[in-house]
Amino acid sequence: MASIDLDKMLAKVKASQWALADIDWDAPGAELITDEQRPKLKAFMADLMWIEHVGARGFAAMARKAPNDTLKEMYTYFHAEEQRHANAEMALMKRWGMLDGDQVPEPNKNLRLVIQWLDRYSDDMPLEVLGSVIPMLEIALDGALCTFLLDTVDDPVCHQAFARINDDESRHLGVGFTVLEMQGHGDTYIKVLKTIATLMDPRLILGIASYVPLLNRMRDNIIDMGLGEERLYAAMKKFERIGGRTADGRRNPWYQIISRHGRIVINRRHKLYHAPVDAMVRLTDRIPDRVMPSRMPTWVKGITYKPVV
Amino acid sequence: MSNREENIGGQKHPTPGKTAAVKKPASGKTVAKKAATKKAAARKVPVKKAVSKKAAGKKAARKAAARKAVPKPVSVLIVGAGFAGLGMAIRLKKAGIEDFVILERGERVGGTWRDNTYPGAACDIPSNLYSFSFAPNPNWSRSYSESAEILDYIEYLVAAFGLKQHIRFNHNVSGLDFDEKQGLWTARLAGGGTVRARSAVMAQGPLSNASLPDIEGVDAFRGKKIHSARWDHDYDFTGKRVAVIGTGASGIQIVPELVDRVASLKVFQRTPAWVIPRPDFQTPGWNKALFRAVPASQKALREALFWTHETMAMAVIWNSPLTRLAERLARRHLHRQVRDDWMRRQLTPDFRIGCKRVLVSNDYYPALQKDNARLITWPIAKLSENGIRTADGVEHELDCVVFATGFDVPKSGTPFPVRGRAGRELGEEWARGAQAYKSINVAGYPNLFFLFGPNSGPGHNSALVYMEAQLDYALRGVQRLMDDNLKLLDVKPAVQARHNKQLQKRLARTNWNSGCKSWYLTEDGFNATMFPGFATQYRAQMATFEDGDYERVAL
């Protein structure tokens, strides 16, 4: 087993806490953001911030389902840490003059759908689903996006913040993959049956309908920023590589489903998948605001760029 | 409290009447025996020496002897002057035993209710049940009394039963040692000096020590720090930015009291508790008059309350359909009082009701939703100079932090070293979880009685009901020692082991052992705190004193 010792990891997580106040948000370097970069970076940062925030909510749901106290406490910390990342990213936006006053940027429509889904159904999802989707989201969207950002932005404060964020994320992933393996351990047949049963759940189908276009939209955003989509794909392959490094991990049906799906996502020639999904992305953009779920859950308001409140 | 004086003055049985009643011995037999025992004790114990010195007749020598002579051992020494210690004293007096002392580390009686004076402090059990059955108070101003009124009741007990003369204040016990040859317990005092007694009663309370929690930076914080059990009544909260850490029994009572006084109140929660409504109301005047005129009516109410709480055992102690019902009741309470879905989620426990202490409050949820209040569920990373840093990376700037973090539960050990036969030390023996016989005696520690010892905790009924059963049992033990002229009365190890085996088997099936972390359990999940059963069962357990369970050694 490549698994890590979860108790030691929890102690490490607790010992590695940092705060927004540890970073000097007024240090020089903000001027390194070019005017050309600014509008696209603003959209990108807003998405990134919201993805962290959404990931946070995922961990909150996982804390409820955790099979033992250590994992429960770990997920409670991860929930807070993802929120911390969102807060730090918002603080960067504030630093770069991308915030409209104190306003939290609006999430895009795909994200809004994901937020709605998470709010309504994530607590009902089995740990297996979230335990597999969250590492994928973390590694693909979060991890990969952060690397892109550091390639394009020269502001040292941004690098300083992301050095800390990436340290946290590597711990999240380490735990994520260990749990993936823990869940792959045991009778495959029962697991496959359970997986199929869960897949039939309309609530999950709704979730898939929100998750799938989100990946494609992020790919489009990355291309918009003038970056190669290969980097995103490389990150997604990493999920397949690390998640599948042990037999237990490979036996987890959710790992199989998500890594296979990842393979399809990075295969642009897979028209059967991309044509309808790209259409979904365009479609969500056209959903009139009045049809969109109007009431946002209050947990999205917990975000702040202020180091001290 | 405005009703303080009214309560004491308004007692139906004024102090003298009570005292008169107390002075009447419970049975003539005990007194007669007691006198005989006293004589016997006088024959055996070191008084002999004193007599011989006296015979020498020299004044100076007598003075020196008086300085040197070890005071005569008392029959009973009691550690602590809270409900338990005073209850024991009352029981002893009623049985005609007068030579006992109460060693109290503080300057006042009252224990828990002396220490916990934070705003909103009140008992979770109706006062008519959270009081001694042998000293009813017809004047309780509310169904659930606040701490000041309970403290008044305790002080009333001291006056009514003439206990003051027995209490030695500022006597902090630092150790208890047993002398097997003489059959005597010696209490060592922190300031020097000792007190010896034929039997000892540990009534120091399971939750009497409080300290600030082990959070990083507690010492670094420069603002005001207040522990709920050591309230600073001089601190002015007006306009302050205040945090309350902890949402247990104390926390949820403090929050509603503070919220209207402060500029902002942040409530830091680690685990939400199940909260049920509190049927709290002021006692109408006619009710008090009725209790005064017809004491039987108050007794009837007490019985009714007792049985209502007994029913709750079905919900709280074991997993039954009533457990689901209780959870539904608590969830409905939450739904009715909290509007926001996310906040409801934050406040919904994820463990079975009863696994941890069930809380009662009508005003906690509304207080959390006031404009200047915020519930924070992020883990606390540390305290900084200016406030609290949470794991979401934010620092909350504060003027004052209130620690409603509970008490130091001596899960493994005793508050001070207790040495029994052959130098054995109780703390060491209890290191892996405390064990006793019927919660009150421990093999190897003869003539020693624990009030609220291991596995005597109620989860659903009044602690005082349990306590009364313990007091009667301890009294019987003390009487055995005196009446039968015993040097040692020590529970047999096999009897104690058998008792605990059964106890743990029954505990395994309770909600307390159903998987949540609570102060009822040790780090290893061993339950040395609670009694797995109805109060009625506990009473039945304590009702019989089997001499065969004990090793008895004559003086």
> Residue B257 half-sphere exposure, CB side, CA atoms within 13 Å?
17
How do strand B184-189 and strand B194-202 relate by DSSP bridges?
antiparallel
Is the CB of A304 less than 8 angstroms away from the CB of B397?
no
In a domain? residue B216:
no
Residue B312 contacts residue B329 (beta carbons within 8 Å): no
Looking at the structure of chain B, the number of domains it has is 2
CB proximity under 8 Å: B 471-530 to A: 517
In a domain? residue A308:
no
How do strand B550-554 and strand B486-491 relate by DSSP bridges?
antiparallel
Other CB atoms within a 10 A radius of the CB of residue B461 amount to 26
Q: CATH number, domain at B378?
A: 3.50.50.60
- What is the spatial distance between Cα B364 and Cα B541, in angstroms, rounded to a whole number? 38
pLDDT at A108: 81
Residues of A with CB under 8 A from a CB of B: 17-21, 64, 69, 73, 76-77, 80-81, 83-84, 87-88, 119, 123, 297-299, 302, 304, 306-309
In a domain? residue B447:
yes
Q: Does ipTM surpass 0.90 in this model?
A: no
List the beta bridge partners of residue B155.
Answer: none
State the residue range of the domain holding A152.
Answer: 35-295
* Interchain CB contact of B349 with A (< 8 Å): no
pLDDT at B60: 59
pLDDT at A140: 67
- A198 min Cα distance to partner chain B (Å): 22
Residue B397 token pair: 């700037």
Is the CB of A309 less than 8 angstroms away from the CB of B382?
no
Is residue B399 located within the same domain as residue B434?
no
Is the CB of A298 less than 8 angstroms away from the CB of B342?
yes
Amino acid A112 reads R
Other CB atoms within a 10 A radius of the CB of residue A170 amount to 12
> What parts of chain B have a pLDDT lower than 70?
1-70, 410-413
Residue A266 contacts residue A237 (beta carbons within 8 Å): yes
How do strand B395-397 and strand B387-390 relate by DSSP bridges?
antiparallel
**Tokens 């902090």, residue located:** B172
Is residue B270 located within the same domain as residue B379?
yes
- A132 min Cα distance to partner chain B (Å): 23
In a domain? residue B300:
no
Q: Select from A162, A299, A304 the residue whose CB has the most chain B CBs within 10 Å, as the one to mutate to test that interface.
A: A299
Size of interface A-B (CB pairs under 8 A): 66
Q: Select from A23, A83, A121 the residue whose CB has the most chain B CBs within 10 Å, as the one to mutate to test that interface.
A: A83
In a domain? residue A27:
no
**Tokens 């007794």, residue located:** B299
Residue B164 contacts residue B89 (beta carbons within 8 Å): no
Closest CA to A183 of A258, A135, A249, A123: A249
Residue B96 token pair: 């005609």
In a domain? residue B335:
yes
Contacts of A17 in chain B (CB under 8 A): 381-382, 389, 391
What is the full per-residue pLDDT of chain A (309 aa) written as tens digits?
446 899 999 999 999 999 999 999 999 999 999 888 888 888 888 888 888 888 888 899 999 989 888 999 999 999 999 999 999 999 999 999 999 887 888 888 888 888 888 888 888 888 888 888 887 777 766 666 777 788 888 999 999 999 999 899 889 988 988 888 887 766 666 666 667 666 666 667 667 777 777 777 777 777 776 667 777 777 778 788 888 888 888 888 778 888 888 888 877 788 888 887 887 787 777 777 776 766 778 888 888 999 999
pLDDT at A180: 80
pLDDT at B15: 34
Nearest CA in chain A to B381: A17
Is residue B48 located within the same domain as residue B86?
yes
List the beta bridge partners of residue B102.
Answer: B78, B167
In a domain? residue B503:
yes
Is residue B549 located within the same domain as residue B448?
yes
Of B341, B379, B395, the CB nearest to A308: B395
Is residue B417 located within the same domain as residue B467?
yes
In a domain? residue B453:
yes
Residue B440 contacts residue B54 (beta carbons within 8 Å): no
- What is the spatial distance between Cα A190 and Cα A198, in angstroms, rounded to a whole number? 12
- What is the spatial distance between Cα B548 and Cα B287, in angstroms, rounded to a whole number? 48
Q: Select from A69, A73, A76, A305 the residue whose CB has the most chain B CBs within 10 Å, as the one to mutate to test that interface.
A: A76
Q: Please, which residues have CB within 8 angstroms of residue A271's CB and are 6 or more apart in sequence? A: none
Is residue B232 located within the same domain as residue B170?
no
Of A20, A64, A298, the CB nearest to B394: A20
Residue A266 token pair: 């990075």
* Alpha helices, DSSP H, located in B69-146: 83-94, 112-115
- List, in sequence order, every beta strand (DSSP E) within B150-261: 167-168, 173-179, 184-189, 194-202, 224-227, 241-245
Buried residues in A179-190 as b, exposed as e (16+ CB within 10 A): bbbbbbbeeeee
- DSSP state string for chain A: -----HHHHHHHHHHT---GGGS-TTSTTGGGS-TTHHHHHHHHHHHHHHHHHHHHHHHHHHHHH-SSHHHHHHHHHHHHHHHHHHHHHHHHHHHTT-SSTTPPPPPPHHHHHHHHHHHHHGGGS-HHHHHHHHHHIIIIIIIHHHHHHHHH---HHHHHHHHHHHHHHHHHHHHHHHHHHHHHSS-HHHHHHHHHHHHT-HHHHHHHHHHHHHHHHHHHHHHHTT--THHHHHHHHHHHHHHTSSHHHHH-HHHHHHHHHHHHHH-TT-HHHHHHHHHHHHHHHHS-TTTS--PPPGGGGG----SB-
- What is the spatial distance between Cα B89 and Cα B100, in angstroms, rounded to a whole number? 8
Gyration radius (Cα) of chain B, Å: 25
Contacts of B350 in chain A (CB under 8 A): 64
- What is the spatial distance between Cα A81 and Cα A167, in angstroms, rounded to a whole number? 11
Is the CB of A84 less than 8 angstroms away from the CB of B393?
yes
- What is the spatial distance between Cα A207 and Cα A117, in angstroms, rounded to a whole number? 6
- What is the spatial distance between Cα B511 and Cα B354, in angstroms, rounded to a whole number? 6
Contacts of A87 in chain B (CB under 8 A): 392-394
Angle in degrees, CA B448, B452, B455, rounded to 5? 105
Of A19, A64, A73, the CB nearest to B350: A64
List the beta bridge partners of residue B178.
Answer: B185
Of B384, B387, B391, the CB nearest to A81: B391
Across chain B, mean pLDDT equals 88
In a domain? residue A25:
no
CB proximity under 8 Å: B 357-386 to A: 378-379, 381-382, 384, 386
Residue B279 token pair: 């049927």
State the residue range of the domain holding B231.
Answer: 224-274+318-403
Residue A152 token pair: 């394009």
Residue A114 contacts residue B426 (beta carbons within 8 Å): no
Of B343, B382, B392, the CB nearest to A80: B392
What's the burial of B43, exposed, middle or buried (CB within 10 Å: 0-12/13-18/19+)?
exposed
What's the burial of B149, exposed, middle or buried (CB within 10 Å: 0-12/13-18/19+)?
buried
Contacts of B342 in chain A (CB under 8 A): 119, 297-299
Of A64, A69, A80, the CB nearest to B379: A80
Looking at the structure of chain A, the number of domains it has is 1
In a domain? residue A18:
no
Q: Please, which residues have CB within 8 angstroms of residue B108's CB and are 6 or more apart in sequence? A: B114, B169
Is the CB of A304 less than 8 angstroms away from the CB of B396?
no
Q: What phi, psi does B284 have (nearest 5°)?
A: -70, 155
Q: What is the pLDDT of residues B301-321, one digit of tens each?
A: 999 999 999 999 999 999 999
In a domain? residue B305:
no
Residue A157 contacts residue A30 (beta carbons within 8 Å): yes
Q: Please, which residues have CB within 8 angstroms of residue B532's CB and are 6 or more apart in sequence? A: B317, B455, B503, B506, B507, B509, B510
Is residue B365 located within the same domain as residue B390?
yes
Is residue B42 located within the same domain as residue B58?
yes
Q: What phi, psi does B404 have (nearest 5°)?
A: -105, 55
In a domain? residue A285:
yes
Residue B175 token pair: 């150790």
In a domain? residue B298:
no
- A150 min Cα distance to partner chain B (Å): 21
Domain's final residue, options B352, B374, B403: B403
Contacts of B386 in chain A (CB under 8 A): 308
Q: Please, which residues have CB within 8 angstroms of residue A292's CB and are 6 or more apart in sequence? A: A109, A112
Domain's final residue, options B385, B403, B421: B403
In a domain? residue A130:
yes
Nearest CA in chain A to B396: A309
Contacts of A81 in chain B (CB under 8 A): 391-392
Residue B378 contacts residue A82 (beta carbons within 8 Å): no
Contacts of A20 in chain B (CB under 8 A): 393-395
- What is the spatial distance between Cα B213 and Cα B404, in angstroms, rounded to a whole number? 10
Gyration radius (Cα) of chain A, Å: 19
In a domain? residue A181:
yes
In a domain? residue A143:
yes
- What is the spatial distance between Cα B236 and Cα A214, in angstroms, rounded to a whole number? 53
- What is the spatial distance between Cα A280 and Cα A286, in angstroms, rounded to a whole number? 10
Q: CATH number, domain at A154?
A: 1.20.1260.10
Is residue B440 located within the same domain as residue B365?
no
Amino acid B411 reads K
Is the CB of B341 less than 8 angstroms away from the CB of A119?
yes
